[in-house]
Structure 1
Amino acid sequence: MTERKGVVTMGGNPITLVGPELKVGDKAPGFVVLDQSLKPVTLKDFAGKVKLISTTPSLDTSVCDLQVHRFNDEAASLPGDVVVLNISMDLPFAIRRFCTTGKIDKVITLSDHRDASFGQNWGVLMKELRLLARSVFVVDKDDVIRYVQVVPEATNHPDYDAALKALKELL
């Protein structure tokens, strides 16, 4: 598995990313993650839809919490052929509690904790921490990546406006 250094820091400390560097125009790699009821979910489950995929290190932090809430608010006004996913290493039970208490009802929140298949296949697994680097991907209906943002400092917010602009250009 490819390892990449010098792409991301966490609290200023260099982190190694495991997996490929995905670029605009690449075919979206497959993955298997878990939903809140421990059911496997794959990229194919969203076939024919435009996808905004947000990844967060942990929903238990303020920046991750705000990131999911911001995308949840935005998702309310998006058409039915668009899905907004958030993937983290949080356990499905913790994700369910977070969504219930935070009233997250538009973003599909998923866990990569079992196999880290999303993190490894999409190149955002932080090796030293076994968490996902903060990132946003926009994938078109044909599963081609149209936008990639891996946030250089994992404790910072993504550029929400740029990600949403890329998403809306596909609608």
Structure 2
Amino acid sequence: MNLEIHQNTEDKMSKTISAYKEELGSIRAGRANPSLLDRISIDYYGAITPLNQLANVSAPEPRLLVIQPYDASTIAAIEKVIQASDLGLNPSNDGKIIRLAIPQLTEERRKELIKVVKKAAENAKVVIRNQRRDANDAIKKMLKDGELTEDDVKAAEAKVQEITDKKVSEIDKLTEEKEKELLEV
């Protein structure tokens, strides 16, 4: 039974790390990366639709993103949403495709982005710690219900802590890599 708790906890923590990786991917590092636009959604005939379902997004050059909508009538809406986003990018179009030039990051902007990365890392760690608390609560409930002995509880909580430590260090490693990427661009 406590093996199930460990597996569920590890699965939840892995999902948290996946969400954190996605969030890191949307933080621009001065290089063109199609994942920068993953958070962009457009109102397409009354339905909020992710940009990557409405257009082909590619990075033909290190500092250029090209968006080629499948439906040319969506160009204006796509441009408007990108300008309104927090990406700080200025789209230009020729009627068929939208080009996004990725500007060089200033030192000040790099520091701001590092703060954003650290805040996201801390939020991910809080979620991980909450998942640890939930797992430990489930273990204590099993003790109360007579499903586990005191020794089983100690072993199960130690295993949960081991999983938590592993996931927190994974977040730290991802954060460090992203900071390095932001500083060396």
Q: TM-score, normalised by structure 2?
A: 0.21
Q: Which has the higher strand share?
A: 1
Bigger radius of gyration: 2
More helix by share: 2
Higher relative contact order (CA 8 A, sep 6+): 1
Query: TM-score, structure 1 length as denominator?
Result: 0.22
